[in-house]
Structure 1
């Protein structure tokens, strides 16, 4: 092909040791290359093929790297990074009611949410996460932070039937939601609004149905914590005579635009209901273990065909936003629980962190895999590390051996937001100084000594 007949592209990533596409057939190109134009992937293949077909304005040579889709964190409370390590090693009820809820009532304001979410977005991008699904208060401020960082996000405004930092009067929550939707930033197609009803035990049936109706009317994702603890299951059974999942199904809450976080204490009948309705799940293995909430029956959930993504939960209960460690633990813990070393294999777990997670949060058509027509949300891992040598199977390495610190380059919408391990959209040293100032104020009122 003559040089002048080549198709133009903005940039070409080439000479990659391994490109893991996470597409329907799980293609891996070794070596591989990716052509990107106007923020969209236009070709994935071998370096020789793409060099022949495309004339790129920029060529990025990444020998010694693995390139994979940007990771998708399906359940985060971004602003809670400012509470990282605030009250560890406690049962969930004490952790929430004695420490987290009081801290939120004292400190959570728009500036707090902006700063905490900015810190979380910084951590996620540097660790290879290019899309996240958030749920918290003053979520307009979270959207502003995500926009500044250049990350892709679903921002869920929190809803409860008791006073919250941004809705002191629960009776006015509908006005609060209207304000959130009216003030949601419209400057970036990377950001989508969502509603997040905290849980079936903190939101009445009327609140759940109203919020779900708003989401349905606007084509938004509906988020909710479901069956996170035994206590929750017992509480819902005592109130409504059925399980949390069955309760939500009776109310018409469950469909393919519903994301159920945790779902630890679900039985076979509830798994069937989730599969039948098309609802999705966010699996937060590290948070669930740290709070001793339990371990969700993920092998059975996957067997039923339920889309499952990985989530870190908030930093206050994890205490990081590292999806590489979530992948590693997910792949291991379910083997131990089931006694079956073949469950949650590396390929399936990587799909949970990419394509399946993107589907779960409503972004499946745009991201989650490296395919023609999808957004160029990509991560490059530096494989020239002692803990990554030798390499026989790149997928296995990503799940069982790689770390967030191995991330070298990150693109979102084809924009290089991390280059050579440096975040280009945020002044990180200044951000950390501001976070330490905020932490000093929080520490002054420490009530758990």
Structure 2
């Protein structure tokens, strides 16, 4: 008798990312109720299981879904609006004024769908978002069939979605209750930064995170200016401030962590804090080079994030992986730092670990959730293949991602998005861009640009 499965994926090479680094040739995967029922050989999968749907993965590499551990999904609307500027000028003179005019539930929903389109096509199955109107971002993620960890940006001053910190916290509490038990979407706590939040707001947000047992993420030590500003405001640099408030623990994640002293790195290792490395955004804004090799040596867990499309300017983790692998080699003068396998681990297992999801995501193992990405190896940039990790980090293009499965559901098959209408998304974003372009004196006739 065959066991029932919902889907079989047969053929190809499985890069499991399990603790043993198992690679299975002529692989077979069985999926049932969104779970990986079996991961092994095609022969054994055929012998044991039957399913109403079978995908062939011949000449393909099967990998766990990537996790974008820090982004601002709706900011796809501002892609290319302001470039080649310092962070403070970019934020204060361009992005914040643009957001003040345009951020609303409609904008964040469609901006997130555009982000989901781009991320799915690049093999990302989970994104960790910090923005405003996060319930609408969750709605877009759910409609797209993507996983999302939602983080309403908590700030001390009025935001597009909350006039006071108390309103922001109340919104997050309601969101935590609203999304409870959802298979794809889960709110977490994300105060913006130590310069945009008072110590009281930082502590209250951490208490709420602990009450619901969810992670707590914050922008931290992204620029030298930030550190000096926080020191002037509070008398302490950001890491010391957070430690003095009793916040630092294994449920805390820093986005960026560019400017850290050796003492701070050691403290983060002791406390179990994770770092999200955003190398392309940090480079573009000239924020600096995060000390990733030293963080790893100190036992600090590191994941990857793209940051937002307004400061990267794309949402493909492949670019950040490749950039990081090469950036830290040239920065250290050591070609052996951040080898390809370690970099890919950071984008999968490392990210899952950062958010307490390593028992569910990050590897292809029986019992974990069925987030599977199929890479087409019949591409000129991927032939020949001696070492799969090398290809993933140094040679792969987002367009090599052929099929994406999230929670056992096909969201993209043979390069076709199955969960929403791409053309409708493009039209909605085009309309927003035309209005924004008029406000900024830019030619943003997207139909003309696309030859329509």
Match for residue 365 of structure 1? 359
Mapped to 1, the partners of 2:321 and 2:169 lie a distance apart of 38
1:327 alignment partner, one of 300, 321, 343:
321
Who is 1:126 aligned against? 121
SS in 2 for 1:344: coil
Partner of residue 315, structure 1: 309
C-alpha contact 1:44 1:370 (8 A) present in aligned 2: yes
Determine if the alignment matches structure 1 residue 92 to structure 2 residue 87.
Answer: yes
CA separation of 1:173 and 1:186: change in aligned 2, threshold 3 A: closer
Secondary structure in 2 matching 1:317:
coil
Report the Cα offset of residue 243 of structure 1.
2.7
SS in 1 for 2:315: coil
What is the TM-score of this pair, normalised by structure 2?
0.95
Q: 1:186: Cα distance to partner? A: 4.9
Structure 1 portions without partners, runs of 5+: none
1:410 has 2:373 as partner = no
Q: Deviation digits for residues 370-391 of structure 1, max 9, x if unmatched?
A: 0110001010011111111111
Instruction: Identify which of 197, 200, 206 aligns with 2:191.
Output: 197
Residue in structure 1 matched with residue 348 of structure 2 by the alignment: 354
Tell me: CA distance 1:44–1:181, structure 2 relative to 1, closer, same or farther (3 Å): closer
CA distance in 2, matches of 1:157, 1:346: 33
Work out the CA distance in 2 between the residues paired with 1:323 and 1:176: 30
Match of 2:449 in 1: none
After TM superposition, list the pairs within 5 Å mapping 1:258-269 onto structure 2.
258-269=252-263
Instruction: Count residues with an aligned counterpart.
Output: 443
2:152 to 148, 157, 160: 157
- 1:342 shift after superposition: 0.9
Q: Which residue of 1 aligns with 2:377?
A: 383
Structure 2: gaps (5+ residues): 444-452
State the match for 1:11 in structure 2.
Answer: 7
Q: Report the counterpart of residue 293 of structure 1 in structure 2.
A: 287
C-alpha displacement at 1:244, in angstroms? 1.4
Partner of 1:275: 269
Counterpart among 13, 26, 35 of residue 21 in structure 2: 26
Report if aligned partners of 1:78, 1:134 keep a CA contact under 8 Å in 2. yes
Give the structure 1 partner of residue 100 of structure 2.
105
Alpha carbons of structure 1 residues 442 and 29: separation in structure 2 relative to 1, 3 Å: same
Distance in 1 between the 2:389 and 2:30 partners? 22
TM-fit CA distance, 1:448? 8.8
SS across alignment from 2:189: strand
Deviation of the 1:364 alpha carbon: 1.8
Give the alignment's Cα RMSD to 1 decimal: 1.6
TM-superposed deviation, 1:181: 3.9
How has the CA–CA distance of structure 1 residues 440 and 447 changed in structure 2, closer, same or farther, with 3 Å as cutoff? Answer: closer
Distance (whole Å) between structure 2 residues aligned to residue 441 and residue 448 of structure 1: 10
SS in 2 for 1:68: strand
Distance in 2 between residues matched to 1:13 and 1:170, nearest whole Å: 48
Query: Given the alignment of the two structures, is residue 42 of structure 1 paired with residue 37 of structure 2, yes or no?
Result: yes
What are the residue-to-residue correspondences of 1:202-281 with 2, within 5 Å? Answer: 202-281=196-275
SS of the aligned residue for 1:294 comes to coil
Single out whichever of 125-134 and 233-242 deviates more from structure 2: 233-242
- Any conservation in 2 of the 1:271–1:304 contact (CA below 8 Å)? yes
* Structure 1 Cα separation of the partners of residues 181 and 417 of structure 2: 21
For residues 135 and 55 of structure 2, the distance between their equivalents in structure 1, rounded to whole angstroms, comes to 36
Which residue of structure 2 aligns with residue 167 of structure 1?
162
Compared CA separation, residues 205 and 108, structure 1 to 2 (3 A): same
- Distance in 2 between residues matched to 1:263 and 1:351, nearest whole Å: 19
Report deviation, 1:361: 2.4
Distance in 1, matches of 2:398 and 2:166, equals: 43
Residues 170/60 of structure 1: CA separation in 2 closer, same or farther (3 Å cut): closer
Instruction: Decide which moves more: 46-55 or 390-399.
Output: 46-55
Matched, 1:446 2:452: no
